[in-house]
Structure formats: structure tokens, C-alpha cells
Amino acid sequence: MLKLNISSFSEGLSSEKRTVLPSEIDLDEQEFYHPINLVFNINKIGSEVFLKVQLDTSVALVCDRCLADYKYKLNETVSIVCTTDNSLVTKDEDGIYFISETTNEINITDSIRDALILNIPQKKLCSEKCKGLCAQCGVNLNDETCNCKSEKIDPRWEALKKIKFN
């Protein structure tokens, strides 16, 4: 669980660094194998607290084309607002927390975890030039070439070969 003691923040701008383990914010340690470095840029104005949190970590992914394991660097910034105005807090809005005058700490685990998970690419590629696997023999085409004939054409399209254009 990742909690911030907002009562300890001084008025104005400040910053704080922290490192958390993936297990502390309920992330899969197989995928998130590296500790998460957090840099908090804090702006406290009266009872309102505005945070910009820079996240930095690495994840272990499997390429969708060639099935090779690779490391992917995640760098993301999360904005969090802690406000005493209850009308600003809605269920649809992430990163806005209601605080009262007596609130000492807030739990920002969900905001940090969600930002990390949402920044893992949907299409996981070890490189943009990944050639993938041979559809016939399964060889990783990034590492070696295969002798499979790539001219296997679906017989339903065979009639198109007979068309001649002038």
C-alpha cells in the first residue's frame, strides 16, 4: 500500500523521492520485476495538494510476434489532486481525492498501479522490425532463416493468377 502523509507537506513547492516494490502496490512480480522509482513534485496551496508523480520502472514482456522475452522501460507521469471541495470528486475521475481538514494521509496505490498497467503497450513487440515466427516451421525469423516455401497460396485465389492486364 502506498500512502502519503499530506499533513507533513509544507506550503509551496517541494519534492520527495521514494522506491516501492511491485508487491507493495499489488502488481505481478513476474511482469514487474524491478522496483518502482517515484518522484513526487508537490505543490501545497492552503489545504489543497497538487501532485505530479514521475514513475520509472522496467517490466518483463513477451513479444507478440516472436514470443521472445524482453524488457520494456516504463516512464509515466501521474497527476493527483487532493481537495477539500467534495463537488470535484466523482467516481469517473481518477486521481482526485477528497480530503478534510483532519486528513493526515491518503492512499494513492490505485492511481499508481493503474497508471503503470495502462502504460504497458497493447501490442508487445521486442522491436519495431521484429520478423516474428515462421508460420510453417515455427523458427524465430529474427535469429535464423528457414527453408520453408513462402509461396503457399490459398487455392481459392488461384483463379486470380490467370487474369492478364494490358
Strand segments (E) across 29-128: 36-45, 48-62, 69-83, 96-98, 105-107
* CA gap 125, 69 in Å, rounded: 10
pLDDT at 152: 63
pLDDT at 151: 66
In angstroms, the first-to-last Cα distance of the chain is 71
* pLDDT, tens only, 30-89: 889 899 999 999 998 888 889 999 999 999 999 999 999 999 999 999 998 888 877 777
Per DSSP bridges, beta strands 69-83 and 96-98 are parallel
Higher pLDDT, 1 or 123: 123
Position 21 pLDDT exceeds 70: yes
In 3-state terms the chain splits into helix, strand, coil percentages (rounded to 5) of 15, 35, 45
* Nearest CA among 90, 20, 91, 85 for reference residue 49: 85
pLDDT at 65: 93
Position 91 pLDDT exceeds 70: no
* pLDDT, tens only, 107-166: 889 899 999 999 999 999 999 999 999 888 889 999 998 888 766 677 888 888 888 887
